[in-house]
Amino acid sequence: MCLSGCSSGNDDAATRAAERLRTGLQAGDGAAACDALSDEVRQELAQSQGTSCETAVMEAGIPDAGRVVDVKVYGTAAQVRYAEDVVFLGEFPDGWKVTAAGCTRQADAPYDCKVQGG
């Protein structure tokens, strides 16, 4: 059974996936940023913006995240907290992918995210 903190491998893998999004955005590389997103998020992003994922992700308003503050992994879900952002991830057959980013905490409700699935 995998509990939070029991698997630094999973923590690292989830963090690497979140970092791929962050570095892709910082480099202005929409393709690299999109590659870090789950299929559902990619489709939702392209559909809602009426453009390609590569363009939409750069225009989504995801903030410059800063440094990683905390990583929590429970089973197939993870949360990477940055100084300036919160990113949610899921584990897929091809590895960890971002399921929501640019997230703002709301009282007693799910995080409101710039990028998220449907």
Partner 1 sequence: MRTFIRDNSLSLFFLVIFFAALVGQAFAGWAQFNNEQMASGLAEIGFGRYLTSADFAVDVTENWQSEYLQFLLYILATVFFFQKGSPESPARIGLGTDKEQKLGHHALDDSPAWAKAGGVRTSIFSWSLTIVMASIFVVSWLAQSIAGWAAYNETRLGDRLDPLSWGSYLVNADFWARTLQNWQSEFLAVGSMAVLAIYLRQRGSAESKPVGEPHDSTAVTGA
* Binding positions for partner 1, rule: CB under 8 A: 1-4, 38, 40, 72, 74-79, 88, 90-93, 99-100, 103, 105, 110-111, 113, 116-118
Do residues 40 and 79 lie in contact, with contact meaning Cβ atoms separated by under 8 Å?
no
CB of 26 to partner 1, least distance (A): 23
Q: Is the CB of 50 or the CB of 118 nearer to partner 1?
A: 118
Do residues 52 and 33 lie in contact, with contact meaning Cβ atoms separated by under 8 Å?
no
CB of 99 to partner 1, least distance (A): 7
- In one-letter notation, the amino acid at residue 104 is T
Rounded to whole angstroms, the Cα distance separating 88 from 84 reads 14
CB of 76 to partner 1, least distance (A): 6
φ, ψ for residue 69, nearest 5 deg = -100, -40
Rounded to whole angstroms, the Cα distance separating 93 from 108 reads 32
CB of 106 to partner 1, least distance (A): 10
Q: Is the CB of 8 or the CB of 26 nearer to partner 1?
A: 8
